């Protein structure tokens, strides 16, 4: 019997982070941003820093960690036109998870190149749809929320 843990890659935006809600609230309160970043809201400086978590995400990650079954990693893309977003995303992870993901974060637009058993991602973009393990397609009929993901993994 093997004690090897399964590898789980977890996307941030739309999976851990309620980025869409944060963007809507941010640009609604600032006409300049709404006008100047229309269609490229992910280029707004600092936009990734203070977004709220998706409902149930923080608790779910702690449950997965506590299960002892998985090695957990972050796999996120950072907009090329907003290089500070990578730093902001790292700070977000640290603020919400402490050291759970310490040095366990990949910033990539090539998720199909990641090696692991599972990828939890809300999209198929950036290679997620070609991931060679199981793609847990978050926010779909099969996996509409974190409870459904936990039902699959625990």
Q: What is the pLDDT of residues 23-77, one digit of tens each?
A: 999 998 898 998 899 999 999 999 999 999 999 999 999 999 999 999 999 999 9
Mean pLDDT computed over every residue of the chain:
95
Please determine, for residue 1, whether its predicted confidence score (pLDDT) is greater than 80: no
pLDDT at 3 exceeding the cut of 90: no
The pLDDT assigned to 2 comes to: 55
| pLDDT for 147 | 98
pLDDT for res 31:
86
The residues assigned a catalytic role are 11, 13
- Closest among 140, 104, 110, 109 to 122, alpha carbons compared: 140
Q: What is the pTM of this model?
A: 0.93
């Amino acid at each position: 019997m093997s004690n090897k843990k399964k590898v789980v890659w977890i996307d941030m935006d739309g999976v851990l982070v309620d980025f869409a809600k944060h963007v809507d609230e941010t640009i609604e309160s600032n006409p300049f941003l709404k006008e100047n970043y229309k269609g490229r809201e992910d280029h707004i400086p600092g936009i990734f820093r203070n977004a709220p978590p998706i409902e149930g995400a923080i608790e779910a990650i702690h449950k997965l960690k506590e299960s002892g079954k998985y090695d957990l990693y972050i796999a996120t893309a950072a907009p090329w036109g907003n290089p500070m977003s990578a730093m902001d995303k790292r700070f977000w992870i640290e603020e919400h998870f402490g050291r759970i993901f310490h040095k366990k974060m990949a910033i990539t637009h090539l998720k199909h190149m990641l090696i692991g058993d599972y990828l939890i991602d809300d999209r198929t973009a950036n290679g997620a749809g070609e991931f060679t393990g199981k793609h847990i397609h978050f926010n779909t009929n099969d996996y509409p929320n974190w409870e459904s993901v936990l039902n699959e993994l625990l």
